[in-house]
Amino acid sequence: MTPLTLGVVGIDHRHIFGQLSGMMELGCTCKGWWTEGEPQPVEGFLKRFPDVPRVGDLRMLLDDPEIDMILIADVPARRADRAMEAMRSGKDVMLDKPGCTTLEQLEDIKACVAETGRIWSIDFSERFEVRAVSKAAELVRDGAIGEIIQTVGLGPHRLNRPTRPDWFFDDRMYGGILTDIASHQIDQFLFFTGSQDAEIITSSVGNFANPDDPGLQDFGEILLRSGNRQGYIRVDWYTPDALPTWGDGRLVISGTEGQIELRKYVDIAGRSGTDHVFLVNKDRYEYIDASGEDLPYFANLINDVNTRSETAMSQAHCFKVMELALKAQAKATRLGTLK
């Protein structure tokens, strides 16, 4: 595996920390970063990556022949244009989710990938940066719960209002809660059911706890289906302050011979740490500490850039996740207030 030379464009979301760390831990180097203005994550970026220089001109990164890949965590509505500019400059790209915020942007991205032959990859961190998911994937591959029937993906998040920029409260800028957060759960549904496509049966969004921010969607849900396989997704901004982490992300995978439950970030029953896996089938009833599992996405993506392959994630899968998220958002019923 030949490590890559990277550039960073847009430090508007903290997910850039995981994107860059995952690559640098495998020997990649970052020649520089550029962002518009002084978004809040810049302070944390400087603490984590003090040796990576800031550049004053985006073109310094895009025109650098030594840079193989651009990592992007710009404001969501700007990510499509940033990615296409990078690809047309000969760079592969890894983006924070969502990779785009409209279906029109997605069609333009597809055309750009076909035109340039570049890789457009989204770091779906709730799968690619979660060791419990690696363990669950192994169990499913080994047939531990038989044929997969359903996934239930829950993605609660803490609002952390004081740290949020203005664009966070404007659904035109972040794309809506289903486009944004629920893209994670759609990715996991397709992955674990082995589906190439799915149908959005119903979807809804609402704002129940933040009436003074009409552009914020603080609740969303999706019911989707692929053949005989079902998926349910709920995402929200309701994580209470007492929880010792930003969200109690969960995934339940139900099969014909058992069930796997993931408590990704916290076990509210009291076990310390992250990456908790619970397995029940006809032979086993056990808890698995998955904190030592590998995270293959970053190594596979480096390999894909070097060999022009699709081992980290197929390009078709990446496109399909965003297509389904955007369609779910577009057709979502807007729920009223609780009163």
In this predicted model, what pLDDT tens digit does every residue of 96-147 receive, in sequence order?
999 999 999 999 999 999 999 999 999 999 999 999 999 999 999 999 999 9
pLDDT value, residue 336: 76
pLDDT value, residue 227: 97
Extract the tokens encoding 94. 């890894």
Residue holding tokens 């310094």? 60
pLDDT value, residue 339: 64
- What is the chain's mean pLDDT, rounded? 97
Q: Which of 110, 28, 113 is nearest to 71 (CA)?
A: 28
| Position 325 confidence tier, pLDDT thresholds 50, 70, 90 | very high
pLDDT value, residue 337: 73
Extract the tokens encoding 339. 């009163």
- Determine contact, residues 233/221, Cβ cutoff 8 Å: yes
CATH architecture of 5-122: 3-Layer(aba) Sandwich (3.40)
Is pLDDT above 70 for 2? Answer: yes
DSSP-assigned letters across all residues of 152-218: EEEEE----GGG--GGGG-HHHH--HHHHTHHHHHHHHHHHHT-S--EEEEEEEE-SS-TT-TT---
Q: How far, in Å, are 87, 169, 227, 235, 259 from residue 208 at the CA level?
A: 40, 14, 33, 13, 32
Task: Tell me what the mean pLDDT of segment 3-16 comes to.
Answer: 98
Is pLDDT above 80 for 338? Answer: no
Rg of the chain over CA atoms, in angstroms? Answer: 19
pLDDT value, residue 304: 98
Task: Tell me what the mean pLDDT of segment 317-332 comes to.
Answer: 98
Question: Distance (Å, rounded) from C-alpha 12 to C-alpha 40?
Answer: 7
Main-chain dihedrals φ then ψ at residue 239, nearest 5 degrees: -55, 125
Cβ-Cβ contacts under 8 Å for 272 (sequence gap 6 or more): none
Q: Does the domain formed by 127-295+328-334 have CATH 2.60.130.10? A: no
Q: What is the pLDDT of residues 45-86, one digit of tens each?
A: 999 999 999 999 999 999 999 999 999 999 999 999 999 999
* DSSP-derived secondary structure letter, 149: E
Check residues 339 and 44 and name the one with the higher pLDDT: 44
pLDDT value, residue 5: 98
- Determine contact, residues 101/174, Cβ cutoff 8 Å: yes
| Position 299 confidence tier, pLDDT thresholds 50, 70, 90 | very high
What percent of the chain shows pLDDT beyond 90?
Answer: 98
pLDDT value, residue 270: 85
Question: Distance (Å, rounded) from C-alpha 232 to C-alpha 220?
Answer: 11
pLDDT value, residue 205: 98
pLDDT value, residue 156: 97
Domain boundaries defined on the chain:
5-122, 127-295+328-334
Is pLDDT above 70 for 35? Answer: yes
Q: Which of 177, 242, 163 is nearest to 209 (CA)?
A: 177
- Determine contact, residues 184/155, Cβ cutoff 8 Å: yes
Extract the tokens encoding 62. 């895009």
Residue holding tokens 């690809």? 87
Extract the tokens encoding 227. 């053949």
pTM over 0.95: yes
| Beta-strand runs (E) in the chain | 5-11, 29-34, 69-73, 92-95, 120-122, 148-156, 199-206, 219-226, 229-236, 250-255, 258-263, 276-281, 285-289, 333-334
Q: What is the pLDDT of residues 189-222, one digit of tens each?
A: 999 999 999 999 999 999 999 999 999 999 999 9
Task: Tell me what the mean pLDDT of segment 272-295 comes to.
Answer: 97
